[in-house]
Chains A and B, each alone.
Chain A
């Protein structure tokens, strides 16, 4: 009996294992090897042991990129999730113009990664851009460029990320649809108000989805690349140098593939630890309706 379920289980996940091997594990093994080498892509890799890792410790730009990325994750991710959940709930209650709103809030995620949006974003936040014009009409007197200023540039990226909460919102919406209406009706009959219904029904029922979104958004936050690549190019003065951008730069601009691979493994370990932490703390918070784990 045991063997039968084993075989069956593996049957279903076999495509994944094959693909994993071919397209992920083998490249990952190669990249692990490369992290101990000096490899400039144009000639063969040269073994240098822990050289890349020791260089990382004293590399200012590396630590700068770590700082910037942590700041980014811990501001952009909560912002995104809060907006996504709030708007998803609002939309569920709404019946008027629902389709319109769903589309409107989702469009930013659709176009977010494009060059055109990046260019627009730069213009919006530049010295004589729309944002300043708007703030000036409100009475503030803003005389600098948000995007050109090292202390404010990162906020433009955080805003860009928060603007794209649509994808998380969609996932929350789908999850919200899954909550049976009779639970709410039963609760209302029992006298629960909106807030209690939210806390006692919505949140727990939604908790697997919330967990999913938290994990995914956090990971995506750490791996964010395109915004800083296109919009700010890591500047000004490396104030928006996200980790993966620095990695990419080292790999391709400076032909330093070995070091970049080392950086990738450091990030991998970091995210694993963080995710493990999130999962273990979720055990008490997350409620599974079906066959749980």
Chain B
């Protein structure tokens, strides 16, 4: 039964899936191919995907960056900021989620509700008061406002990891307790490994959100030698003069590469995490 059914359904679905995926990719393909087109051609002949003449100059021109700061600097900055942020976010959120998912304590509902509530706050509004706080701490024009807060947990990830942790049976905890484990050991040896897919997913999200974030860098980084890639990309298009679309698109394509690479690497863990896991299937 299993063999015949799984072969028939997928074929029709597979074709559909494939066609759909190409459609999904079209804008991205457009972007990649445009990075090899001459500036004048990019929008003039937007229908044609392939360049009439393959030019690699956009990459060199784009890489040059602005006013003596090349994209080497911008990429370095982005990496530093985003890596620290990701590590801080995932670890602290897992730690905190464990507290919400497994501990009972007075006021737990209140703090949980608090956390959900902060998710609904538009970042744009506490932007200015937050800036004032950071400025009082002396952190403006450093990477600190963009990295340190992540070590105190990110509500989105906490919420997500709580849900993941809740689907792990309590019997495992109890078994470990009987074996003499304390709460931290339960966290470390049982919960954390079983939440691995969640952790990896959180890591991927943390990475690319922060990679793309430009409001944070915009506010807190005034010196071009600290700029991240996301900020530098915005600077390519100026409404008052001609924009270097070719350069911008080329650099945008380049900025995609780290994110995709990270994704590929962590993708394996999502699958591995479960099959190597323990209890479930």
Contacts and interface: CB of A to CB of B under 8 A. Distances in A.
A and B touch in the complex (CB under 8 A): yes
Interface string B96-139: 10111111111010010011111111111110111011000000
B80 interface: no
Most buried by A among B118, B168, B245: B118
A110 B126 contact: no
Interface residues on A, range: 35 or more
A251 B167 contact: no
A96 B14 contact: yes
Contacts of B43: 123
B175 interface: no
B122 A212 contact: no
A22 B144 CA distance: 14
Interface string A195-234: 0000000000100110110011001001101000000000
A212 B119 CA distance: 12
A197 to B, nearest CB: 11
B237 A102 contact: no
B153 interface: yes
Contacts, number: 275
Contacts of A267: 120, 122
Interface residues on B, range: 35 or more
Contact of A289 (B158, B166, B173, B200): B166
Contacts of A99: 264, 267
Interface in B131-174: 132-133, 149, 151-153, 156, 158-160, 163-170, 173
A281 interface: no
Interface stretch (A10-18, A49-57, A59-67, A142-150): A10-18
A16 B249 contact: no
Interface of A: 5-13, 15-20, 22-24, 26-28, 30-31, 34, 41, 87, 90, 93-94, 96, 99, 101-117, 119-121, 123-124, 128-130, 133, 163, 167, 170-171, 173-175, 177-178, 180-182, 188, 194, 205, 208-209, 211-212, 215-216, 219, 222-223, 225, 244, 247-248, 251, 257, 260-261, 263-264, 267-268, 271-272, 275, 288-293
Contact of A15 (B95, B117, B230, B260): B95
A15 B92 contact: yes
B28 A248 contact: no
A103 B22 CA distance: 12
Contact of B167 (A114, A178, A271): A178
Contacts of B212: 110-114
Nearest to A245: B124
Interface of B: 1-2, 5-6, 9-10, 13-14, 17, 21, 24-28, 30-31, 34, 43, 46-47, 92, 95-96, 98-106, 108, 111, 114-126, 128-130, 132-133, 149, 151-153, 156, 158-160, 163-170, 173, 183, 197-198, 200-201, 204-205, 208, 212, 230, 233-234, 236-237, 245, 248-249, 252, 255-256, 259-260, 263-264, 267, 270-271, 273-274, 280-281
Q: From DSSP, what is the main secondary structure of chain B's interface residues? A: helix
A225 to B, nearest CB: 7
Contact of B252 (A22, A111, A128, A173): A111
